């Protein structure tokens, strides 16, 4: 909760801010994604074993190599920004879904 | 806690820069062949040079394991007419492929002759090129003996345009297909290329961008004897001495539009591409060509840059496109039925549009996967899309998100996504470094491969030409000897240039500079081209250089790297404008339309325009169409010693 903590004067958060989400229970902080990412979207977390920190979120080109090459399946989930979420339709029922 | 601001809130301070900061510290490296750019072409160049027994260093802005446009994957190995299932002669097919104005006949010939060998070498390294687990038995195009999977692409000819006979029954029967394109499991390739580089002893410098070439004694146009680099994590300044240098950084970047935040435009190229190599070649005095060419960029409403915004949007390759009521639309589907056509004719586009407006078709459209046979839809979903570059992650997240291939239709954004504004353009359509039959540039010691060259093609083109350039550069490096006269003055100038933004903490940051450049390009270098507008564009960019660049600031090595990219793009933009002003005619194949010179492709302008720096002055030149001569004869004259597929224990 922000209200219980110190509120800092910081610039607007980048858009999008989270091209991926990490599951801290699965991620072992091995930093494979930090090394694989061609963009340096991530930096290693100073706390050893913790998921990397997303630093250059808005430079992500959504190549997906971080998630595809992650040695701990489920640690990284791709989080498409809202305007990029794809849609599909059940052919029988016509129900439209979105990621 | 994974974001920067969460760290700040929790820790009460921002994270420290995680790498040692070494702005300006120097490191010198000696090598025989230096490859700048570790994408597909660069990796193949490094591997092939190393296999010739020379010392090789490879620079890569990202990490070689997944960097470059082809880093995430590759679904089609195009133009492999030497494969055992092909029904065409490689040399004849090369002539057929090159039968278009302003192409790269040298690269096409190399691709047609050598890229099946290249693919077999990929297989030697562990790359998957066959359906060895019999997952796709029964899929059209699968050969049960070799287990190679032929793609519907280029079934009748090499075009993506629909043939007028497409609608005829039995238009593309199996026994008549060219069989020149092979489906591959390309997401396995790039890490294996890095592994092979390391196995061969290539010195791999990840997170190092090339910034300049070093000419002998610092004289522009003289032999290239090395290069400088910047470590994008530490700011360290690297000086490479090399007997030969191969440029493989690909072409232009986002010159007309930088839309990172919304990921809104369609671009097949890596985010890291920024014209660095082309500008390095230019400053060193090498000739470029086709720089006046540009093309429109598509908007990928659904997912950034893939799927394509073509007819196959949302589905692609053999997937029928239907309207909201399930009516089949007459779009080509890049499938067996239309021999790989993916672009609808203007008549078909107009017919569909009118049909929508009259209520005959209802929006939105869908890719009808459930209508396909199981094996065909798996082949499209898991190979065409699952192995292709950045679509692999799309397939993965859709599968995890509940999309069911046998049940669900994927939405297409045709018509509802609109058209990209005409002022949004892309320079990655042909401009690049001029090369000869050795893939040598116009200056000694400097070679180019893949998308660094003029008029490049696809992934396998980059692989085959990289492999070829590595071979040629290694031969040169062996012959030339080691007396490399590097100029300390040239190094100092370059060091001052690239470190300048680190001396300031406020002023203009790289994104503002980049956006200012794109705005100038949108206003003055887009749909409406006249001498006056182009001149205003050039003056505006020169103003940016004079007034904003001296204020550029970079707070860490990463931002410095982006700043240096922007400086490359400024130079790249200026070259484009100069070339555009020089071509005083319009042209359909160059997608180049001047209001003040409206005549389309007049015979006197049916030629390549070349451009280079000589003593700091721009010099234009020209070359005729097909300046490369007889492709088969030239290839054979230059490759008498070619030994085919690499033998690992040789």
More confident residue, A62 or B314: A62
Query: Residue B544 carries which DSSP code?
Result: I
Least confident of A24-28, A38-42, A81-85, B282-286: A81-85
Confidence of residue A80 (pLDDT cuts 50, 70, 90): confident
B 39-78 residues inside an 8 A Cβ radius of A? 61-63, 65-68, 71-72
Check: CB of residue B317 under 8 Å from CB of residue B325: no
Query: Residue B81 carries which DSSP code?
Result: T
The answer to whether the complex's ipTM is over 0.90 is: yes
Residue B45 — left, alpha, or beta (φ > 0 → left; ψ -120 to 50 → alpha)? Answer: alpha
Mean per-residue pLDDT, B574-591: 97
Measured distance CA(B349)–CA(B511) in Å, rounded: 37
Q: Does B546 touch chain A (CB under 8 A)?
A: no
Q: Does B408 touch chain A (CB under 8 A)?
A: yes
For residue B232, list chain A residues with Cβ-Cβ distance below 8 A. 40
Check: CB of residue B370 under 8 Å from CB of residue A91: yes
Number of structural domains (chain A) is: 1
Could you tell me the domains of chain B?
A: 21-297+421-487+600-639 (3.50.50.60), 301-412 (3.90.700), 488-599 (1.20.58.100)
Check: CB of residue B243 under 8 Å from CB of residue B476: yes
Q: What is the pLDDT of residue A58?
A: 87
**In this structure, what CATH number is given to the domain that contains residue A42?**
3.30.70.20
Short-list B350, B358, B360, CA closest to B323: B360
Cβ-Cβ contacts under 8 Å between A and B: the total is: 170
Mean per-residue pLDDT, B240-254: 94
Confidence of residue B262 (pLDDT cuts 50, 70, 90): low
Measured distance CA(B584)–CA(B637) in Å, rounded: 37
Short-list B105, B40, B109, B80, CA closest to B454: B105
Question: Which domain does A56 fall in, by range?
Answer: 14-98
Cα distance from B404 to chain A (closest Cα, Å)? 9
Examine residue A51 and state whether it is found in any structural domain, yes or no: yes
Asked whether the whole model's pTM tops 0.90, one would answer yes
In sequence order, the 6+-apart residues with CB closer than 8 A to the CB of B7 are A53, B1, B14, B15
Indicate the residue of B4, B63, B67 with minimum beta-carbon distance to A54: B4
β-strand pairing of B26-36 with B56-60: parallel
Measured distance CA(B395)–CA(B306) in Å, rounded: 11
Check: CB of residue B213 under 8 Å from CB of residue B226: yes
**By CA distance, what is A27's nearest residue in B?**
B2
Examine residue A37 and state whether it is found in any structural domain, yes or no: yes
For residue A54, list chain B residues with Cβ-Cβ distance below 8 A. 2-4
Is A6 exposed, middle or buried, given 0-12, 13-18 or 19+ CB atoms closer than 10 A? exposed
B130-139: long-range contacts (C-beta < 8 A, 24 or more apart)?
Answer: B135/B378, B136/B375, B136/B378, B136/B379, B136/B383, B137/B375, B138/B375, B139/B375, B139/B376, B139/B378, B139/B379
Site from B4, B9, B192 to mutate, A interface, most A CB atoms within 10 angstroms: B4
Examine residue A56 and state whether it is found in any structural domain, yes or no: yes
Instruction: Examine residue B307 and say whether the peptide bond preceding it is cis (omega within 30 degrees of 0).
Output: yes
- Averaged confidence pLDDT in chain B: 92
**By CA distance, what is A13's nearest residue in B?**
B5
Examine residue A3 and state whether it is found in any structural domain, yes or no: no
Measured distance CA(B493)–CA(B220) in Å, rounded: 14
Examine residue A40 and state whether it is found in any structural domain, yes or no: yes
Examine residue A4 and state whether it is found in any structural domain, yes or no: no
In sequence order, the 6+-apart residues with CB closer than 8 A to the CB of B626 are B98, B105
Structure confidence by residue, pLDDT tens digits, B350-384: 999 999 999 999 999 999 999 999 999 999 999 98
Mean per-residue pLDDT, B96-107: 96
Q: Do B2 and A21 touch (CB under 8 A)?
A: yes
More confident residue, B420 or B464: B464
Residue A21, classed as helix, strand or coil, is strand
Residue B288 phi, psi (nearest 5): -115, 160
Residue with token string 């203009």:
B508
Check: CB of residue B58 under 8 Å from CB of residue B202: yes
Residue with token string 């793609």:
B151
Measured distance CA(B269)–CA(B283) in Å, rounded: 24
Measured distance CA(B159)–CA(B152) in Å, rounded: 12
Residue B113 tokens read as 């002759």
Examine residue A79 and state whether it is found in any structural domain, yes or no: yes
Check: CB of residue B462 under 8 Å from CB of residue B77: no
Q: Does B416 touch chain A (CB under 8 A)?
A: no
A 6-25 residues inside an 8 A Cβ radius of B? 6, 8, 10, 13-18, 21-22, 24
Structure confidence by residue, pLDDT tens digits, B301-310: 444 444 554 3
Q: Does A31 touch chain B (CB under 8 A)?
A: no
Measured distance CA(B42)–CA(B58) in Å, rounded: 8
Structure confidence by residue, pLDDT tens digits, B64-97: 999 999 999 999 999 999 999 999 999 999 999 9
Indicate the residue of A18, A84, A96 with minimum beta-carbon distance to B3: A18
Least confident of B9-18, B185-194, B425-434: B425-434
Mean per-residue pLDDT, B24-38: 98
Q: Does B396 touch chain A (CB under 8 A)?
A: yes
Cα distance from B4 to chain A (closest Cα, Å)? 6
Examine residue A21 and state whether it is found in any structural domain, yes or no: yes
Q: What is the pLDDT of residue B426?
A: 85
In sequence order, the 6+-apart residues with CB closer than 8 A to the CB of B411 are A86, A87, A88, A89, A96, B302, B314, B364, B365, B366, B367
Structure confidence by residue, pLDDT tens digits, B130-187: 999 999 999 999 999 999 999 998 888 787 777 767 667 777 888 889 999 999 999 9
Buried b (16+ CB within 10 A) or exposed e, B387-398: bbbbbbbbbbbb
By percentage, how much of chain B surpasses pLDDT 70? 95
Q: Does A1 touch chain B (CB under 8 A)?
A: no
């Amino acid at each position: 909760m922000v209200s219980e903590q110190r509120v800092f004067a910081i610039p607007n958060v980048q858009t999008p801010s989270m091209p991926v989400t990490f599951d801290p229970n699965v991620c072992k902080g091995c930093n494979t994604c930090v090394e694989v990412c061609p963009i340096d979207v991530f930096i290693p977390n100073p706390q050893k074993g913790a998921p990397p920190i997303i630093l250059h979120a808005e430079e992500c080109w959504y190549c997906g190599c971080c998630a595809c090459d992650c040695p701990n399946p489920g640690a990284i989930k791709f989080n498409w920004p809202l305007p990029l979420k794809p849609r599909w339709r059940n052919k029988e029922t016509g129900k439209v879904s979105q990621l | 806690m994974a974001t920067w601001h969460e760290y700040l809130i929790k820790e009460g301070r921002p994270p420290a820069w995680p790498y040692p900061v070494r702005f300006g510290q120097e490191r010198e490296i000696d090598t025989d062949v230096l490859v700048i750019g570790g994408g597909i072409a660069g990796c193949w160049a490094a591997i092939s040079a190393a296999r010739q027994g020379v010392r090789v260093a490879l620079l890569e802005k990202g990490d070689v394991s997944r960097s470059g446009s082809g880093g995430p994957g590759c679904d089609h190995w195009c133009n492999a007419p030497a494969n055992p299932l092909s029904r065409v002669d490689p040399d004849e097919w090369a002539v057929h492929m090159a039968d278009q104005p302003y192409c790269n006949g040298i690269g096409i010939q190399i691709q047609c002759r050598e890229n099946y060998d290249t693919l077999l070498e990929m297989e030697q390294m562990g790359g998957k090129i066959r359906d060895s687990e019999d997952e796709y038995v029964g899929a059209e195009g699968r050969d049960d003996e070799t287990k190679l999977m032929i793609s519907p692409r280029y079934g009748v000819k090499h075009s993506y345009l629909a043939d007028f006979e497409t609608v005829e029954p039995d238009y593309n029967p199996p026994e008549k297909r060219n069989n020149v394109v092979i489906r591959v499991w390309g997401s396995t390739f790039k890490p294996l290329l890095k592994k092979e580089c390391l196995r061969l002893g290539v010195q791999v410098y990840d997170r190092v961008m090339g910034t300049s070439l070093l000419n002998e004694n610092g004289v522009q146009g003289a032999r290239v004897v090395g290069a400088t680099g910047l470590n994008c994590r530490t700011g360290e300044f690297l000086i490479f001495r090399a007997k030969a240098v191969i440029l493989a950084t690909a072409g232009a970047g986002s010159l007309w539009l930088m839309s990172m935040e919304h990921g809104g435009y369609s671009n097949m190229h890596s985010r890291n591409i920024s014209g660095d190599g082309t500008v390095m070649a230019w400053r060193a005095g090498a000739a470029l060509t086709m720089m006046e060419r540009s093309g429109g960029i598509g908007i990928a409403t659904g997912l950034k840059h893939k799927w394509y915004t073509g007819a196959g949007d949302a589905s692609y390759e053999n997937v029928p496109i239907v309207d909201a009521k399930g009516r089949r639309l007459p779009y080509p589907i890049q499938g067996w039925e239309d021999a790989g056509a993916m672009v609808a004719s203007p008549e078909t586009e107009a017919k569909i549009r009118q049909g929508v407006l009259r209520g005959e078709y209802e929006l939105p459209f869908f890719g009808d996967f459930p209508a396909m046979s199981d094996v065909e839809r798996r082949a499209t979903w898991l190979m065409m899309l699952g192995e292709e570059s950045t679509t692999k992650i799309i397939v993965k997240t859709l599968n995890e998100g509940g999309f069911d291939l046998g049940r669900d239709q994927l939405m297409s954004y045709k018509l509802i996504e609109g058209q990209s504004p005409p002022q949004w353009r892309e320079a990655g359509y042909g401009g690049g470094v001029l090369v000869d039959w050795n893939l040598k540039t116009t200056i000694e010691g400097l070679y180019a491969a893949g998308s660094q060259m003029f008029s490049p093609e696809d992934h396998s083109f980059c692989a085959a030409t990289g492999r070829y350039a590595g071979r040629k550069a290694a031969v040169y490096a062996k012959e030339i000897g080691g007396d490399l006269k590097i100029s300390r003055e040239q190094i100092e100038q370059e060091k001052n240039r690239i470190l300048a933004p680190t001396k300031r903490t406020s002023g203009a940051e790289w994104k503002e500079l980049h956006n200012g450049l794109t705005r100038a390009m949108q206003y003055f270098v887009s749909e409406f081209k006249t001498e006056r507008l182009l001149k205003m564009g050039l003056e505006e960019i020169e103003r940016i250089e004079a007034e904003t660049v001296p204020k550029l600031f970079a707070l860490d090595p990463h931002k410095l790297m982006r700043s240096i990219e922007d400086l490359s793009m400024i130079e790249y933009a200026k070259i484009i404008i100069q070339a555009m002003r020089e071509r005083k005619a319009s042209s359909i194949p160059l997608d180049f339309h001047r209001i003040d010179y409206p005549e389309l492709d007049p015979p006197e302008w049916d030629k390549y325009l070349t451009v280079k720096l000589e003593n700091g002055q721009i010099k234009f030149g020209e070359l005729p169409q097909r300046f490369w001569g007889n492709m088969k004869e030239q290839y054979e004259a230059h490759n008498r010693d070619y030994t085919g597929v690499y033998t690992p224990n040789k």
